[in-house]
Amino acid sequence: MLKTEYSLLLESFKFANGIELKNRVVMAPMTNFSSNEDGTVSRPEVEYYIRRSKGVGMVITACVYVSRGGKGFPGEFGADHDGLIPSLRGLAEAIKGEGAKAVLQIFHGGRQCPPAQLPDGQTVSASDVPSELPGGGQGPVPRALTDEEITGIIADFGEATRRAIEAGFDGVEIHGANGYLLQQFFSPHSNRREDRWGGDLQKRLAFPLAVLRSVKDAVKQHAQGEFLVGYRFSPEEPETPGITMAETFALIDALTGEGLDYLHASLMELWSLPRRGTEDSRPRIEQIVERAGGKVPVIGVGSLYTAADALKSLDSGISLVALGRPLLIEPDWVQKVAEGHAEEIKTELDPSAQAELVIPDPLWNALIHTPGWLPVKQ
């Protein structure tokens, strides 16, 4: 390996359970809208992952729904029944074949699911509180889940983990971020329950922790070798009432207390500052790493387009750097850094380069027609 100022990014990294990554760069989970209608992974999707799995140490896939009532996107692939294991296996083999570890992100969309994607057209959540939309207005009113349905979904997360193990993945990441079902139970905005699944902070933690236990039990029961369990969370919410930094710290304490392999902080901008719930004015990511207290590694993400951005991100104390949008624009990001050509990394999407970038049509159309999602070359 060429010794450059960026060599720190290319150092191998070992998790406490012994799983080793060839470097500290991770492909962040990104929805691509390109799976088949039956929940299987499509060929263009597999090619898209192959194109991005050569350089990075680990790939975290787009989220898969663990229950059919939790499908959050058109063209999302599933892990809700055993018939999907061969499809999942094909994806795991494709990623691992390029030298990266493969982690399946498991999820339930809750009230964020488009009703058209659901068998009965009815979104569900912790309570019947609609989401507040960024441009104003509200999402559809969800139906509050029953106790029996909640325990069923917790079991579904365990079953999806078993399928990931049988399909040959190296781990799962529980998606507790971006306003989806786990976050809906933790948030005082969306969870107004007064039973064992809601009320005070401890009761709002009950569902995320039960999901983590269900996943860990499945790993204990079914994994032959080492298997990663990570958890992705969003620090804070803009809504009032909403999750504050103080509550985020309580979540970190609870998750690390249960034991898991890593935490993944979901941020649009890695260095963003806290809104409320802490007197500390440092970037959220520094406070998150400090709170994790060296008990688990933290993955950081958020607009790290250049090698210099990614290198500087390690100053925050994170162990691994996740790249999402940068790998859409530049699939050879890691290779360029490794070969000493970091200055050649592209940081704007070339509108004429779809074939070369191996981006499936549904994702390409979304990228091109959603202003502000990616920097686009004019």
**Residues labelled catalytic:** 180
If we measure between CA atoms, which residue out of 175, 256, 122 comes closest to residue 185?
Answer: 175
Residue 204 tokens, joined? 């709002």
Pairing of strands 171-176, 298-301: unpaired
Cβ within 8 Å of residue 309, ≥6 positions away: 303
**Secondary structure of the chain in HEC code, one letter for each residue:** CCCCCCHHHHCCEECCCCCEECCCEEECCCCCCCCCCCCCCCHHHHHHHHHHHCCCCEEEEEEEECCHHHCCCCCCCECCCHHHHHHHHHHHHHHHHCCCEEEEEEECCHHHCCHHHCCCCCCEECCCCCCECCCCCECCCCEECCHHHHHHHHHHHHHHHHHHHHCCCCEEEEEECCCCHHHHHHCCCCCCCCCCCCCCHHHHCHHHHHHHHHHHHHHHHHCCCCCEEEEEECCCCCCCCCCCHHHHHHHHHHHHHHCCCEEEECCCCCCCCCCCCCCCCCCHHHHHHHHHCCCCCEEEECCCCCHHHHHHHHHHCCCEEEECHHHHHCCCHHHHHHCCCHHHCCCCECCCCHHHHCCCHHHHHHHHHCCCCCCECC
CA-based radius of gyration for the chain: 20
